[in-house]
Amino acid sequence: MSQLVQIAPLAPAEGTFPAVPMLGLDTLWFQVAGTICNLECTHCFISCSPTNHAHAMMTLDQVTSYLAEAKRLGVREYYFTGGEPFMNKSIFEMFEAALAQGPTSVLTNGVLIKDKTAERLQALSDASDYSFDVRISVDGYGPEDNDPVRGAGTFDRIVEGIAALARVGLNPVITVTEVCGEAGTRAGRTRFIELLRSLGLAQPRLKILPLLRIGAEEQRARGYHKWESLAGAHLTGDELAALQCSSCRIACASGVFVCPILIDAPGARMGDTLEATLRPFPLEYSACFTCHAEGLSCAT
Amino acid sequence: MRDVTRVAFLGGIYSNYLALDAAIRAAKARGVDAIWALGDFGAFGPHPDRSVELLREHDIPGIQGNYEESLSSNAEDCHCGYTDPRDNHYAQISYDYTFAKTSAAYKQWMGTLPKQARLELGDQRLLLCHGSPRQINEFLWESNTPTPFIDRMLDANDADLIVCTHTGIHWQRRDDRGRGVVNVGALGRPANDGRTNVWFAILTSGPHGVQTEFVPVEYDHERLAREMTEEGLPDEFVETIRTGWWTTCLEILPAKERARGQF
């Protein structure tokens, strides 16, 4: 059964919502595992879980078709996300196809990365002229911080995945959300960097992400306040250009959406092809406020 | 007027006036018709005015980099385009020093420079820019600038060849017709390869189209390192000059470029 919690646009409190222009499609995301995930994190902004089939897995044909269109449009970089991308049986063929035409990243919880997977990823990376980034999410310095958010026993499995990548010479980017309260501070960053060094990463790479108060996170903490909206806001050209939706789109099994955050919003589905989505988009969702106020970009 | 067939392009100088002096002499020894500077004259190194004096003494035309844009508009930071606090920490030290030590007259002059320039070399239309044709501080690294994206930039700008810098590591990707990108690297600091030399590029038009030569430049890097220390610049910057390995502003590097470095 679909667990889609549909996100409705806000009613304009005063004035109208600014529209973000499409300045050029630089970043193409693939919701490659739909909303299907082996974990059920309490802060997931699209409520992914083993039983959430709101968005289906993408097929290899779907991905290669969008890649062909992306090549024609001159896309700069590719990101694979989910759900958990490594639950898609065609994921390695998809990586290979993407890496043939541009730099590629995968966002994963890391728990399915064992030595054999790490070796395959390293071989894919070596075979491409372009950079291949594995990005792993962790939400604490140890099981006591991480596991209440990501699930019992996950910290140890995440750390094993990171160590497996380190052993084959891959240097994953580690992302931490601000569910880990200290993560955004200098002391918190330093602590994470030390943790990563202890796992064998000589050049620790860390990205801190703000929380999006939608999906499961709305239940865990809170939803958006009424004032957290871009209704009536006047954004400058530079501010609009800084939003990832001015240069990204996400392909799902069901079509192309404006950005990775709004795939549960039916109004954010912009078309069947990439070309059909190269037009302005009104910033009428609460999450748009976070991207503007926090300078959030899902890209690395 | 003599046809221009051979042009030298100098990437980020970052106040390394000793390397700049050596590069100008190397370019002239190779018989170039012109030398262009692609911005970021100051940053990182000591005595930023000395590099500007050399450029002006040799009548070297230049375009603005993000440093010239920031210095000439009294901006509070370099707008280097970094996103990680670790990168921005050192970028701010570099900018604050350079801002304080650059004369008002030179800051004003920087603001008069164009942000892009176009040249014709043989049958190729060159677009000179600091970062990318669309953004002065966009990083065009080899491993994250795919060919379809390069084609898009060339088509959008009616150009055959983008000549840029900003990343600090030289590379090129060109198709059979010579269309593509040449990132000329930087004179200001080594290419994160464990060697102390720095790089610039010469493009030469000939019967087989426009050829690229990346030119290594040896210079008195120990003297530069001493002067940086005397000026109170961070030990991390000095270490890079002495070892050829980048120690700061590393988080912006894509995976492949990062993996080639020591830190």
- What contacts A178, CB < 8 A, 6 or more positions away? A184, A208, A209, A210, A211
**For residue B200, what are the β-bridge partners?**
B215
Say how many residues make up chain B.
263
**Under an 8 A CB cutoff, do B85 and A186 touch?**
yes
Q: Is B73 at the interface with chain A, CB within 8 A?
A: no
Separation of alpha carbons B36 and B55, rounded Å: 9
Comparing A194-203, A215-224, B174-183, B204-213, the range with the smallest average pLDDT is A215-224
Residue A299 lies in a domain: no
Q: Is A186 at the interface with chain B, CB within 8 A?
A: yes
Q: Is A209 at the interface with chain B, CB within 8 A?
A: no
**Under an 8 A CB cutoff, do B146 and A101 touch?**
yes
Separation of alpha carbons A231 and A250, rounded Å: 24
A-chain residue closest to B149, CA distance: A74
B142 chain-A contacts, CB cut-off 8 A: 129
Separation of alpha carbons A178 and A189, rounded Å: 11
- What contacts A24, CB < 8 A, 6 or more positions away? A74, A247, B134, B152
The residue with greater pLDDT, A168 or B84, is A168
Q: Is B153 at the interface with chain A, CB within 8 A?
A: yes
Are A258 and A210 contacting, i.e. CB atoms less than 8 angstroms apart? no
| pLDDT, position B113 | 98
Residue A124 lies in a domain: yes
Residue A60 belongs to what domain range? 21-294
Q: What is the ipTM of this complex?
A: 0.94
pLDDT in tens, B123-143: 999 999 999 999 999 999 999
pLDDT in tens, A64-83: 999 999 999 999 999 999 99
Q: Which of B162, B245, B256 has the most A C-beta neighbours within 10 Å, making it the best mutation to test the interface with A?
A: B256
pLDDT in tens, A251-291: 999 999 999 999 999 999 999 999 999 999 999 999 999 99
Mean of per-residue pLDDT scores for chain B: 97
Rounded mean pLDDT of A155-176?
96
**Under an 8 A CB cutoff, do B255 and A76 touch?**
no
| pLDDT, position A13 | 65
**Under an 8 A CB cutoff, do A73 and B258 touch?**
no
**Under an 8 A CB cutoff, do B255 and A131 touch?**
yes
A-chain residue closest to B254, CA distance: A131
Q: Is the pLDDT of residue A4 over 60?
A: no
- What contacts B186, CB < 8 A, 6 or more positions away? B11, B12, B13, B14, B40, B165, B167, B168, B169, B170, B198, B199
A8 falls in which pLDDT band (50, 70, 90)? confident
CA atoms in the 13 A half-sphere facing the CB of B100: 12
Question: What CATH number has the domain spanning B6-260?
Answer: 3.60.21.10
Q: Which of A25, A203, A300 has the most B C-beta neighbours within 10 Å, making it the best mutation to test the interface with B?
A: A203
Separation of alpha carbons A73 and A63, rounded Å: 15
Q: Is B10 at the interface with chain A, CB within 8 A?
A: no
**For residue A177, what are the β-bridge partners?**
A209
Rounded mean pLDDT of A99-116?
98
- What contacts B26, CB < 8 A, 6 or more positions away? B200, B215, B217
3-state secondary structure chain B: CCCCCEEEEECECCCCHHHHHHHHHHHHHCCCCEEEECCCCCCCCCCHHHHHHHHHHCCCCECCCHHHHHHHCCCCCCCCCCCCHHHHHHHHHHHHHHHHHCCHHHHHHHHHCCCCEEEEECCEEEEECCCCCCCCCCCCCHHHCCHHHHHHHHHHHCCCEEEECCCCCCEEEECCCCCEEEECCECCCCCCCCCCCEEEEEEEEECCEEEEEEEEECCCHHHHHHHHHHCCCCHHHHHHHHHCCCCCCCCCCCHHHHHHCCC
| pLDDT, position A181 | 77
| pLDDT, position A1 | 37
**Under an 8 A CB cutoff, do B255 and A102 touch?**
no
A2 falls in which pLDDT band (50, 70, 90)? very low
**For residue B118, what are the β-bridge partners?**
B127
CA atoms in the 13 A half-sphere facing the CB of A87: 23
* A193-224 exposure pattern, b = at least 16 Cβ within 10 A, e = fewer: bebbeebebebbbbbbbebbbbbbbbebeeeb
pLDDT in tens, B9-64: 999 999 999 999 999 999 999 999 999 999 999 999 999 999 999 999 999 999 99
Q: Is the pLDDT of residue A219 over 90?
A: no
pLDDT in tens, B159-205: 999 999 999 999 999 999 999 999 999 999 999 999 999 999 999 99
pLDDT in tens, B113-125: 999 999 999 999 9
B-chain residue closest to A78, CA distance: B144
In chain A, the number of structural domains is 1
Q: Where are the domains of chain B?
A: 6-260
Q: Which of residues 123-162 of A touch B (CB under 8 A)?
A: 125, 129-133
**Under an 8 A CB cutoff, do A103 and B258 touch?**
no
Q: How many interface pairs between A and B have CB atoms less than 8 angstroms apart?
A: 64
Looking at the complex, report in whole angstroms how far the Cα of residue B90 sits from the nearest Cα belonging to chain A.
Answer: 15
Using only the alpha carbons of chain B, give its radius of gyration. Answer: 17
**Under an 8 A CB cutoff, do A103 and B143 touch?**
yes
Residue A8 lies in a domain: no
**Under an 8 A CB cutoff, do B259 and A171 touch?**
yes
Q: Classify A178 as helix, strand or coil.
A: coil
Q: Is A73 at the interface with chain B, CB within 8 A?
A: yes
| pLDDT, position A109 | 97
Q: Is B183 at the interface with chain A, CB within 8 A?
A: no
Q: Classify A271 as helix, strand or coil.
A: strand
- State the CATH number of the domain containing residue A114: 3.20.20.70
Residue A285 lies in a domain: yes
Rounded mean pLDDT of B233-254?
97
